[in-house]
Amino acid sequence: MLSERFDDALIYASRLHATQRRKGSDIPYIAHLIGVASLALEFGADEDQAIAALLHDAVEDQGGPPILEEIRGRFGNEVADTVEGCTDADTIPKPPWRHRKEVYIDHKKTASASVLLVCGCDKLHNARALVGDYRIVGEKLWDRFTGGREGTLWYYRELVGTLRDAGAPARLIDELDRTVSELERMAATRSA
């Protein structure tokens, strides 16, 4: 099912993100990328989609448009187009948070099936991490995020509806919805 292209993408992603850690932790960032690729494969990804899952944050976090062109040259148009569709911003400094998230959500309304799959897997992996971290650090969790508590909860809830309406895999979005609902319940309980 997976060829040496996938192996090459895994090594490439690991090198690109070698010094990066997950927000608020010492977890190597590659753990997130592998997690997203794993979810994508579980939800039916083909090799190009699995490779895009490994590389979905490369443009945003590791060099912008030149990295996108490198990905296109190494892994092809399908992978590069999916990575581009999953990219929140490719400039530094990034645009203001709320505007950037609104544009990102809006673009998902007409995104390809590959973008919807990889984006949904990315958000599911992130939401699961948020729930787990919230259990450990409580309200301090929100300090990690520019949008804070309210903005982060808004963003994930909006993504659930948008991805569902756009035709992302139902099983994936049902799981994302359950995870976001758990996060919302935890936040409501802690703020009461």
Residue 60 appears among annotated catalytic residues: yes
User: In the chain, what is the straight-line distance between the N-terminal and C-terminal CA atoms, in Å?
Assistant: 49
Residue 169: is the preceding peptide bond cis (ω within 30°)? no
Q: Which of the following is catalytic: 57, 60, 84, 122?
A: 60
Catalytic residue status for 177: no
Beta strands in 20-174 (DSSP E): none
Q: What whole-number distance in Å separates Cα of residue 116 and Cα of residue 52?
A: 12
Catalytic residue among 8, 47, 61, 88: 61
Rounded distance between C-alpha atoms, residue 167 and residue 33, angstroms: 23
Question: Quick one: CA dihedral 127, 131, 136, 138, positive or negative?
Answer: positive
| Residue positions annotated with a catalytic role | 60-61
